């Protein structure tokens, strides 16, 4: 008994939609293949707090002081020459515990750029709150507390080669605030921690000093409910407790002291890892989500999932936005790409000339699947079209279970052509699907020599070849001879990638991602696993575009295998 099922896979789109500043988009759009020619889209709700990327020349949630010190220009919040202080601050909410991050580009000049937080407005002569600065010219950083404009230098000015000094280069600075404890990051690297209990709550913003130009690319502030990815911190706990500070920190009674750039024996946490969204945003003005395929609206829903029936073979582009009243539509989440079918069948003929006395043709097959699930009951079968158009077959048929991310070559499939077969041009067709419904058809031509005689098939059309559930060497793919990584899918990837791997025997393994410099980025798997096939997943949505490597390590046996990953946003 055969069951009709179609295949489906994943794709990437950016839908053009009006972006309203400070209206947070959905997060982590993903597509999951569903048997039956459909795709299940899932996403996370917008995160709480502030997200501002200054698109479309709008920054209406920010107040500016002085008013001519900032403009929105080409998608950037631009601080222009001519003012001693240029401050912009968020006016809608006050924040206590949070992660705050901003990215900016120095266009001209060499003075300080920074973040304002737990403040009462712009940085001016009467400012109350905190500021985290990096000095562009001196390549150092500091944390200040202000009371009615009076300075209290908390962390001290500390040199750091993490600061990019050349004009036109970007810098990202971040603050993780828990109660009176602050952890500071520059370009994703932890640089300092300090304690100060002067200001408990307030607004957030950005600041630039002296008469030079700076472009702020974006600002994000995520209030703490339960930060995902922190090693030891939760709400109300310090990120690095006092008894775990390095011995050379030299903190005083208030917990202040010089910064440190590394912690012996302890992994630091990239700021972007801290910015993974905590919980759903609950806003009265939220209306619904809008789902787009190929730039056209296909659904509105208040749920965070949607199943779309694919209209047929091809590639489809999806994104999701959030709609607010009265603000309008957010920036899109995504993109994700869906291509149907995700299973590929390649046919390579080897012998295509049959002598008049009869003989055979041969060919190789390559079958690959981008499906993350195993699919039972898949059938490969063949037909031959005679010179008179008559279809003969199926002549070769195998039904097998397609494993996740199957990628195998079947060599030396042979099709006998009897002497009694008429001379002329033939077509050999390979079909893959759920018999008798073929999802993929590939064909090639072959020729039977001799004088034209007869029209029927005549004789014995035997066909034979190796079984599809075994590799060409005759080993079962479920029982690998060596531990190895499979090909990551998709690769290049936009946000998420799956990495198959196989183990010949039970072992404690680690699957990790590192950057091009060999620095640890993420651990995907670290546990003892049984022999067989396994699958690891990497979410790169919070990491920068570029080349990474995924490595399979046997904990007691050293590095086993590595594959390239290309993250493209």
pLDDT exceeds cutoff 90 at 118: yes
State residue 166's pLDDT score: 80
Rounded Cα–Cα distance for residues 330 and 46 (Å)? 10
Identify whether 377 is part of a domain. yes
Query: Domain with 67 in it: what CATH number?
Result: 2.60.120.560
Identify whether 470 is part of a domain. no
Of the listed ranges 4-13, 377-386, 420-429, the least confidently predicted one is 4-13
Identify whether 225 is part of a domain. yes
Domain end, chosen from 336, 365, 394, is at 336
Query: Domain with 492 in it: what CATH number?
Result: 2.60.40.1930
Helix (H, G, I), strand (E, B) or coil at 57: helix
Identify whether 182 is part of a domain. yes
User: 110: which residues sit within 8 A by CB, 6+ positions away?
Assistant: 136, 137, 212
State residue 101's pLDDT score: 86
Rounded Cα–Cα distance for residues 333 and 327 (Å)? 17
Tokens found for residue 227:
């930060």
Whether 179 and 251 map to the same domain: the answer is yes
pLDDT exceeds cutoff 70 at 513: yes
Percent of the chain clearing pLDDT 90 (strictly above):
19
In this structure, are strands 314-324 and 328-329 parallel, antiparallel, or unpaired? antiparallel
Whether 297 and 186 map to the same domain: the answer is no
Tell whether the torsion through CA atoms of 196, 199, 200 and 204 is positive or negative.
negative
State residue 233's pLDDT score: 34
What average pLDDT does this structure show over 246-271? Answer: 33
Pure H helices in 100-195? none
User: 566: which residues sit within 8 A by CB, 6+ positions away?
Assistant: 491, 492, 493, 546, 547, 548
What average pLDDT does this structure show over 512-528? Answer: 82
Rounded Cα–Cα distance for residues 241 and 195 (Å)? 11
CB atoms within 10 A of CB 472: 12
Average confidence score pLDDT of the chain: 75
In the chain, how many domains are there? 4
Identify whether 10 is part of a domain. no
Whether 241 and 359 map to the same domain: the answer is no
Whether 325 and 250 map to the same domain: the answer is no
Percent of the chain clearing pLDDT 70 (strictly above):
75
Whether 36 and 107 map to the same domain: the answer is no
CB 307 within 8 A of CB 34: yes
Whether 206 and 133 map to the same domain: the answer is yes
Q: What is the pLDDT of residues 120-178, one digit of tens each?
A: 888 888 899 999 999 887 899 999 999 998 989 998 899 999 998 887 888 989 888 87
Whether 422 and 522 map to the same domain: the answer is no
State residue 349's pLDDT score: 94
Higher pLDDT, 279 or 201: 201
Q: Which value, to the nearest 10 degrees, does the dihedral of the CA atoms of residues 446, 7, 381, 406 take?
A: 90
Rounded Cα–Cα distance for residues 5 and 382 (Å)? 19
Whether 254 and 216 map to the same domain: the answer is yes
Domain end, chosen from 434, 464, 494, is at 464
CB 154 within 8 A of CB 194: yes
Whether 504 and 538 map to the same domain: the answer is yes
Distance between alpha carbon 507 and the CA centroid of its chain, in Å? 28
Query: Domain with 391 in it: what CATH number?
Result: 2.60.40.3880
Rounded Cα–Cα distance for residues 130 and 144 (Å)? 6
Domain end, chosen from 234, 258, 282, is at 258
Taking 3-state DSSP, the helix, strand and coil percentages for the chain, each rounded to the nearest 5, stand at 0, 50, 45
Whether 437 and 307 map to the same domain: the answer is no
Domain that holds residue 503: 484-567
Identify whether 61 is part of a domain. yes
Rounded Cα–Cα distance for residues 225 and 98 (Å)? 9
Of the listed ranges 216-220, 264-268, 308-312, 381-385, the least confidently predicted one is 264-268
Q: What is the pLDDT of residues 375-413, one digit of tens each?
A: 777 889 999 999 999 999 899 988 888 887 788 888 889
State residue 373's pLDDT score: 65
Rounded Cα–Cα distance for residues 352 and 426 (Å)? 10
Whether 362 and 328 map to the same domain: the answer is no
Identify whether 236 is part of a domain. yes
Highest mean pLDDT among 59-63, 119-123, 130-134, 527-531: 130-134
pLDDT exceeds cutoff 60 at 473: no
Whether 425 and 315 map to the same domain: the answer is no
Query: Which element (helix H / strand E) includes 379?
Result: strand 375-385
State residue 268's pLDDT score: 39
Identify whether 320 is part of a domain. yes
Tokens found for residue 531:
């022999």
User: 550: which residues sit within 8 A by CB, 6+ positions away?
Assistant: 485, 488, 499, 511, 512, 513, 524, 536, 538, 562, 563, 565
Query: Which element (helix H / strand E) includes 271?
Result: helix 271-274
Higher pLDDT, 182 or 446: 446
């Amino acid at each position: 008994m055969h069951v009709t099922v179609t295949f489906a896979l994943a794709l990437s789109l950016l839908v053009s939609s009006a972006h309203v500043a400070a209206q947070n988009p959905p997060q982590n759009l993903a597509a999951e293949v569903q048997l039956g020619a459909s795709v299940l889209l899932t996403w996370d709700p917008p995160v709480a707090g502030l997200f501002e990327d200054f698109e479309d020349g709008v920054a209406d949630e920010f107040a500016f002081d002085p008013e001519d010190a900032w403009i929105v220009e080409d998608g950037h919040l631009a601080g222009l020459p001519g003012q001693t202080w240029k401050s912009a601050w968020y006016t809608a909410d006050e924040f206590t515990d949070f992660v705050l991050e901003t990215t900016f580009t120095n266009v001209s000049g060499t003075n300080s750029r920074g973040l304002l937080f737990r403040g009462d407005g712009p940085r001016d002569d009467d400012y109350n709150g905190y500021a985290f600065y990096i000095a562009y010219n001196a390549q150092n950083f500091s944390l200040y507390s202000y009371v009615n404009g009076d300075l209290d230098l908390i962390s001290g000015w500390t040199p750091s080669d993490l600061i990019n000094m050349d004009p036109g280069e970007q810098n990202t600075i971040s603050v993780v605030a828990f109660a009176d404890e602050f952890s500071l990051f520059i370009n994703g690297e932890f640089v300092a921690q300090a304690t100060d209990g002067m200001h408990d709550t307030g607004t957030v913003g950005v600041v630039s000093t002296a008469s030079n130009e700076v472009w702020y690319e974006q600002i994000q502030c995520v209030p703490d409910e339960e930060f995902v990815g922190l090693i030891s911190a939760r709400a109300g706990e310090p990120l690095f407790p006092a008894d775990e500070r390095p011995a050379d920190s030299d903190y005083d009674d208030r917990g202040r002291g010089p910064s440190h750039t590394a912690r012996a024996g302890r992994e630091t946490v990239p700021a972007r890892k801290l910015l993974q969204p905590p919980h759903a945003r609950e806003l009265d003005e939220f209306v619904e989500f809008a789902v787009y395929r190929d730039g056209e609206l296909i659904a509105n829903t208040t749920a965070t999932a949607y199943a779309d029936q694919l209209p047929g073979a091809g590639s489809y582009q999806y994104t999701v936005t959030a709609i607010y009243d009265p603000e309008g539509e957010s920036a899109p989440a995504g993109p994700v790409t869906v291509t149907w079918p995700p299973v590929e069948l390649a046919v390579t003929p080897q012998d295509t000339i049959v002598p008049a006395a009869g003989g055979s043709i041969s060919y190789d097959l390559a079958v690959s699947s981008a499906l993350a699930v195993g699919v039972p009951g898949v059938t490969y079968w063949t037909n031959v079209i005679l010179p008179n158009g008559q279809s003969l077959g199926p002549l070769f048929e195998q039904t097998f279970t397609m494993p996740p991310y199957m990628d195998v070559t079947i060599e030396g499939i042979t099709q006998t052509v009897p002497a009694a077969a008429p001379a002329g041009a033939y077509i050999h067709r390979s079909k893959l699907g759920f018999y008798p419904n073929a999802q993929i058809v590939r064909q090639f031509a072959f020729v039977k020599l001799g004088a034209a005689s007869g029209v029927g098939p005549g004789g014995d059309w035997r066909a034979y070849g190796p079984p599809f559930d075994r590799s060409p060497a005759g080993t079962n793919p479920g029982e690998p001879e060596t531990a190895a990584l499979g090909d990551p899918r998709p690769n290049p990837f936009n946000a998420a990638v799956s990495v198959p791997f196989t183990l010949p025997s039970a072992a404690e393994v680690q699957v990790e991602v590192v950057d091009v410099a060999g620095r640890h980025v993420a651990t995907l798997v670290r546990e003892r696993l049984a022999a067989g096939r396994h699958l690891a997943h990497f979410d790169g949505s919070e990491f920068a575009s570029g080349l990474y490597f995924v490595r399979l390590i046997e904990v007691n046996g050293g590095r086993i295998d590595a594959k390239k990953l290309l993250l493209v946003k």
